[in-house]
Amino acid sequence: MRLTLRQLRVFDAVARHLSYTQAAQELHLTQPAVSMQIKQLEENVGLPLFERLGKKIFLTEAGKEMHGYSRSIDAQLAEADTVVEELKGVRRGRLRISVASTANYFATRLLAAFSKEHPGMSFSLDVTNRESLLRQLENNECDLVIMGRPPGNMDLVTEAFMDNPLVIIASPDHPLVGENSIPLERLRQETFLLREPGSGTRIAMERFFAQRGVTLTTGMEMTSNEAIKQAVEAGLGLGIVSIHTMELELEAGRLAVLEAEHFPILRRWYVVHRRGKRLSPVAQGFKQFVLERAREYLRLPR
Ligand code: PGA
């Protein structure tokens, strides 16, 4: 059987509407053009596909069979179209991104800005700690990761895009608030609240004090920056967090940053993916957006 896609499209429209006039309107064709396509198709098939009874037209047995096929061919073509569109551009892709819990303070703003510029895209965002990000990279479970200091022992493409200063926070009535160059030794008399073991903030903090031979007194352990900030505000101890988590608390005067020697701990943010991963256009687009424009979306407290 020899037929063209154009004939099939016209046939599908007539079969749905059971009307040459309405099919012609839908396809922006004239009615004689529609009749001509159907006539040619019937010749190619070798059987009539419609029959006319009075003023109405109906599908013949062969027409009903053909309609089943024309519908599924149409659905397949639409699917192919979507897939190719996705491959061609950012417009309709899906992005799987995972970010360090601390990076989430700006990552959602970045995603919002990016998706405004690419309204057809969709994304899934996983917010988790460093350890679990590394596992996701290992298992190829996400397109891109935003994290602090990537490990050297994995085959990754990593690009730094922004500083991430870690600061010591205290409740505003803490006696060290307002002092300058607080010696690290002095901090030994304080209790520090800790993030959970898989946290990048925690690793950076431990490395910093270990390198300087200072052993801190540590208190409670918590799995989020929010919990740390609340506990510090409640006077349970001092904390070390990224300045990016502090916008609201500093503005409201609910927490203070201590001016300790050698602080802040300088850490950076990286956008990361596995080497050799074929990034989709949307992932590639978002990565570029992060590298070029992340700083526009950052609100650093004064
Ligand atoms: P975290 O990561 O949220 O796991 O502490 C931040 C970082 O790696 O700097």
Q: Hey, what's the torsion of the CAs at 273, 126, 107, 198, to 10 degrees?
A: -80
Segment holding 13, helix H or strand E: helix 5-17
Residues with CB under 6 A from ligand 1: 100-102, 129-130, 147-148, 164, 195, 199-201, 267
Residue nearest to atom 9 of ligand 1 (CA): 148
Query: Which amino acid, 247?
Result: E
pLDDT of residue 155: 92
Q: How far apart are CA 177 and CA 200, in angstroms?
A: 26
pLDDT of residue 10: 96
* Topology (CATH) of 90-162+268-297: D-Maltodextrin-Binding Protein; domain 2 (3.40.190)
Q: What share of the chain in percent tops pLDDT 70?
A: 95
Q: Does position 286 have pLDDT exceeding 80, yes or no?
A: yes
Q: Does position 98 have pLDDT exceeding 70, yes or no?
A: yes
Q: Are 235 and 251 contacting, i.e. CB atoms less than 8 angstroms apart?
A: no
Output the CA torsion sign for 139, 140, 143, 148. Answer: positive
Residue nearest to atom 6 of ligand 1 (CA): 200
Can you read off the two tokens belonging to residue 223? 């799995």
Domain range summary for the chain, segments of one domain joined by + = 5-72, 90-162+268-297, 163-267
Q: Does position 119 have pLDDT exceeding 90, yes or no?
A: no
pLDDT of residue 193: 97
pLDDT of residue 299: 67
Q: Are 128 and 98 contacting, i.e. CB atoms less than 8 angstroms apart?
A: yes
Q: Does position 302 have pLDDT exceeding 60, yes or no?
A: no
Contacts of 172 (CB under 8 A, 6+ apart): 253, 254, 255, 256
Cis peptide before 165 (omega within 30 of 0): no
pLDDT tens per residue, range 226-239: 999 999 999 999 99
Give the distance (Å) from ligand 1 centre to CA of residue 94.
Answer: 25
Question: How does residue 91 score in pLDDT terms, banded at 50, 70 and 90?
Answer: low
Mutating to test ligand 1, I would choose from 147, 206, 228 the residue with most ligand atoms within 8 A of its C-beta, which is 147
Give the distance (Å) from ligand 1 centre to CA of residue 127.
Answer: 11
Contacts of 33 (CB under 8 A, 6+ apart): 24
Residue with tokens 């500093």: 250
**Average pLDDT of the residues in 96-109:** 92
DSSP 224: S
Residue nearest to atom 2 of ligand 1 (CA): 200
pLDDT of residue 118: 87
Name the class of domain 163-267.
alpha beta
pLDDT of residue 297: 80
Structure pTM?
Answer: 0.70
Using the atom order of ligand 1, give the atom closest to the CA of residue 269.
Answer: 9
Using the atom order of ligand 1, give the atom closest to the CA of residue 164.
Answer: 9
Measured in whole angstroms, the distance separating CA 218 from the mean position of its chain's CA atoms is 35
Question: How does residue 85 score in pLDDT terms, banded at 50, 70 and 90?
Answer: low
Question: How does residue 190 score in pLDDT terms, banded at 50, 70 and 90?
Answer: very high
Residue with tokens 């096929």: 69
Q: 5-72 with 90-162+268-297: one CATH topology?
A: no
CATH no., domain 5-72: 1.10.10.10
pLDDT of residue 90: 61
